[in-house]
């Protein structure tokens, strides 16, 4: 073949976008940066995990369900207004049987999920984003404070994000037809996912819609028949698995009025349909929580980066938009139907999709060609400024997880102090909001059922009748009179008005002989001598 023929053949080949391809040295540098970032943030997550911080209230509630129930009982409605997918509960139960019924054992799966999510973000960023966007996406996702915190919390938030990323990474395919092996793999992965993660159904539905829409477009464009038969087998298995899960678990939890009221009070659902103001408010709120970009400046920077990412991806790699965008829209649709709250931690699984789009947005500026009135250097400089502004917030927040790591309600040091100074006939008066933590750690510190009593629960009266709260506490505290050593134990994230009243009233009944406070101010114990208490 002549040189002329070679040149003609090369000219006829489709040329890849220059913006999507980085030179080999730059690719190696970006890959190195990405893996260094992953290594650093894995250490941050392991550091937070290794501190062994105490369970806070909600963690203790879910932990008690896991430890005290059998696998079969975990398929029933959980105690203490807790909701979690059955698969997650079973993995946690298995972990306690392997490693023991400890907080460390219960945090293993969230930690593994959080680490796996880092590599899945890297995988999706390489698949869909500009090369420059890859380390930006990793840094954004990895250093977000809530992502670090949830990596060692006994909740399904880190596994929700991991499973969402896994589904898009493994199941999403642009092929027109599936092989038998793909049908089996995709069907099994999706069917298991709905039992492991409640919001996985939104991701699976977005994958199905993406495939159907993509094939219809290709069929109309190329005048070829649809090849959805193998996909519909997979969709049917997903739907059957979800239906079984809904009947067994979700259906019973969907009628929990306490949870629905709690979410409605936080504007997790729209007031009416269609309430477009609520939708835009909720999307804007997402950048504040769970993404934690403060308003107004950094919040607007993050929103601008996200919009720029949408535009860039639509122009450069349109098939990457729907897998990253549809899960957000379907979750909002579920909120309009009052089926899933769009608020804070329960939508944490959407964080990677926002982060990937934001990283694409700032990288688009870095790689952009010259604009009217701007040279390419000036445009790239603006892009790097945006990257700096975008990474400043999570980087500054991540410092809090170095020394000392973040804690909420440190009850273990309090219990250790009581144990160390325990004498025969001592009694612990456990503040009601601390009872779940106390119940989880009670045996670990050697306390018997006769060693403690739990205070009344006056929360239902706090907003409407504080006089009723005072009356309940006065009556409840009479049972302590005549004892020479009573430990009043509190572990909460703040000292509430009813807590303050209770403490003030105990002070009037006897003498405070000792005080111990952990590194969280609302986790504290007081030792009282109530022998002279008149029972008033």
Question: CA–CA separation, 202 vs 194, rounded Å?
Answer: 10
Structure tokens belonging to residue 311? 């535009």
Q: What is the mean pLDDT of the chain?
A: 85
Considering Cα of 187, then 83, then 67, then 495, what sign does the dihedral take? positive
DSSP 8-state code for residue 223: T
CA distances from 488 to 55, 434, 505 (A): 19, 11, 12
Q: Is the predicted pLDDT of residue 372 greater than 60, yes or no?
A: no
Q: Give the start-end residues of each E strand in 403-466.
A: 427-430, 452-454
3-state SS class at 127: helix
DSSP 8-state code for residue 246: I
pLDDT of residue 135: 93
Q: Is the predicted pLDDT of residue 101 greater than 70, yes or no?
A: yes
Which region among 171-175, 176-180, 185-189, 470-474 has the lowest average model confidence (pLDDT)?
171-175
Q: Is the predicted pLDDT of residue 334 greater than 90, yes or no?
A: yes
Q: How many CB atoms lie within 10 A of CB 324?
A: 25
Give the mean pLDDT of 190-204: 95
Q: Which of 52, 50, 45, 59 is nearest to 493 (CA)?
A: 59
3-state SS class at 32: helix
DSSP per-residue string spanning 463-529: TT-HHHHHHHHHHHHGGGTT-S-EEEEEE-SS--HHHHHHHHHHHHHSEEEEEEE-SSTTEEEEEEE
User: What is the per-residue pLDDT across 267-289, written as a single tens digit (0 to 9) for each?
Assistant: 899 988 888 899 999 999 999 99
207, 168 Cβ separation under 8 angstroms: yes
CA distances from 373 to 304, 365, 380 (A): 21, 15, 13
Structure tokens belonging to residue 66? 């896991």
491, 523 Cβ separation under 8 angstroms: yes
> Of residues 218 and 508, which shows the higher confidence score?
508
Considering Cα of 530, then 534, then 535, then 536, what sign does the dihedral take? negative
Give the H/E segment covering residue 301.
helix 297-316
Instruction: Name the strands in the sheet holding 511-517, side by side, starting at the edge strand that comes first in the sequence.
Output: 452-454, 427-430, 486-491, 523-529, 511-517
pLDDT of residue 511: 92
SS3 content of the chain, % helix, strand, coil (to 5): 65, 5, 30
Question: CA–CA separation, 344 vs 338, rounded Å?
Answer: 16
pLDDT of residue 386: 84
Q: Is the predicted pLDDT of residue 7 greater than 50, yes or no?
A: no
Report the Cα 30 to chain-centroid distance in Å: 28
Question: CA–CA separation, 110 vs 152, rounded Å?
Answer: 6
User: What is the per-residue pLDDT across 199-221, written as a single tens digit (0 to 9) for each?
Assistant: 999 999 999 888 888 778 777 77
60, 440 Cβ separation under 8 angstroms: yes
User: What is the per-residue pLDDT across 210-265, written as a single tens digit (0 to 9) for each?
Assistant: 888 877 877 777 777 766 777 888 999 999 999 999 888 766 665 566 677 778 77
User: What is the per-residue pLDDT across 426-442, written as a single tens digit (0 to 9) for each?
Assistant: 999 999 889 999 999 99
Question: CA–CA separation, 17 vs 169, rounded Å?
Answer: 23
Give bridge partners of residue 100 from the DSSP assignment.
none
Taking the model in full, what pTM does it have?
A: 0.88
Question: CA–CA separation, 455 vs 27, rounded Å?
Answer: 61
For residue 474, count CB atoms less than 10 angstroms from its CB and return exposed for 0-12, middle for 13-18, buried for 19 or more.
middle
Question: CA–CA separation, 536 vs 526, rounded Å?
Answer: 20
202, 339 Cβ separation under 8 angstroms: no
Go through 396-415 and write b for each residue having 16 or more CB atoms within 10 A of its CB, e for each that does not. ebbeebeeebebbbbbbbbb
Question: CA–CA separation, 524 vs 296, rounded Å?
Answer: 37
Q: Cβ neighbours of residue 135 under 8 Å, at least 6 residues apart?
A: 30, 33, 34, 37
Q: How many CB atoms lie within 10 A of CB 376?
A: 12
User: What is the per-residue pLDDT across 148-172, written as a single tens digit (0 to 9) for each?
Assistant: 989 999 999 999 999 999 999 988 7
DSSP 8-state code for residue 425: T
DSSP 8-state code for residue 248: I
Structure tokens belonging to residue 530? 């109530």
Considering Cα of 69, then 74, then 78, then 80, what sign does the dihedral take? positive
pLDDT class of 173 with cuts at 50, 70, 90: low
β-strands 486-491, 523-529 pairing:
antiparallel
Q: Is the predicted pLDDT of residue 4 greater than 50, yes or no?
A: no
Q: How many CB atoms lie within 10 A of CB 160?
A: 28
């Amino acid at each position: 073949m002549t040189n002329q023929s070679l040149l003609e053949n090369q000219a006829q080949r489709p040329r890849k976008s220059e913006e999507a391809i980085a030179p080999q040295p730059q690719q190696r540098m970006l890959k190195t940066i990405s893996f260094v970032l992953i290594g650093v943030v894995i250490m941050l997550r392991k550091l937070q995990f290794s501190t062994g911080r105490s369970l806070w209230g909600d963690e203790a509630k879910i932990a008690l369900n896991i430890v005290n129930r059998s696998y079969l009982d975990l398929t029933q409605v959980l105690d203490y207004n807790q909701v979690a997918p059955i698969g997650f509960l079973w993995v946690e139960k298995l972990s306690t049987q392997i490693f023991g019924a400890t907080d460390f054992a219960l945090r293993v799966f969230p930690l593994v999920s959080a680490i796996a999510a880092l590599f899945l973000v890297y995988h999706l960023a390489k698949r869909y984003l500009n090369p420059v966007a890859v380390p930006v996406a990793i840094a954004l996702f990895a250093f977000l404070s809530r992502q670090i915190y949830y990596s060692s919390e006994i909740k399904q938030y880190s596994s929700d994000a991991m499973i969402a990323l896994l589904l898009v990474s493994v199941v999403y395919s642009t092929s027109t037809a599936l092989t038998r092996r793909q049908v089996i793999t995709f069907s099994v992965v999706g069917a298991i996912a709905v039992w492991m993660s409640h919001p996985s159904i939104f991701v699976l539905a977005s994958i199905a819609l993406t495939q159907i829409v993509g094939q219809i477009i290709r069929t109309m464009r190329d005048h070829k028949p649809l090849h959805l038969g193998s996909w519909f087998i997979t969709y049917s298995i997903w739907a059957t698995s979800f239906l079984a899960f809904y009947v067994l678990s979700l259906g019973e939890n969907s009628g929990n009025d306490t949870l629905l009221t709690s979410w409605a009070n936080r504007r997790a659902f729209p007031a009416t349909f269609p309430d477009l103001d609520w939708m835009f408010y909720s999307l804007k709120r997402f950048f504040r929580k769970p993404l934690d970009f403060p308003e107004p400046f950094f919040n607007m920077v993050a929103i601008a980066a996200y919009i720029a990412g949408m535009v860039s991806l639509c122009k450069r790699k349109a098939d990457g938009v729907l897998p990253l965008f549809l899960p957000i829209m379907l979750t909002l649709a579920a909120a309009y139907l009052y089926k899933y709250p769009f608020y804070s931690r329960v939508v944490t699984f959407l964080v990677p999709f926002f982060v990937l789009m934001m990283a694409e947005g700032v990288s688009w500026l870095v790689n952009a060609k010259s604009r009217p009135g701007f040279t390419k250097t000036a445009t790239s400089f603006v892009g790097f400024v945006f990257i700096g502004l975008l990474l400043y917030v999570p980087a500054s927040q991540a410092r809090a997880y170095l020394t000392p790591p973040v804690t909420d309600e440190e009850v273990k040091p309090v219990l250790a102090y009581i144990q160390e100074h325990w004498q025969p006939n001592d009694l612990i008066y456990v503040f009601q909001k601390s009872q779940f933590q106390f119940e989880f750690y009670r045996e670990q510190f050697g306390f018997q059922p006769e060693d403690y009593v739990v205070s009344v629960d006056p929360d239902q009266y706090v907003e409407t009748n504080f006089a009723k709260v005072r009356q309940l506490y006065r009556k409840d505290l009479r049972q302590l009179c005549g004892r020479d050593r009573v430990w009043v134990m509190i572990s909460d994230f703040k000292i509430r008005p009813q807590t303050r009243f209770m403490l003030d009233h105990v002070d009037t009944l006897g003498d405070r002989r000792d005080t111990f406070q952990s590194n969280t101010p609302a986790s504290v114990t007081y030792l009282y001598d109530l022998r002279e208490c008149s029972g008033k």
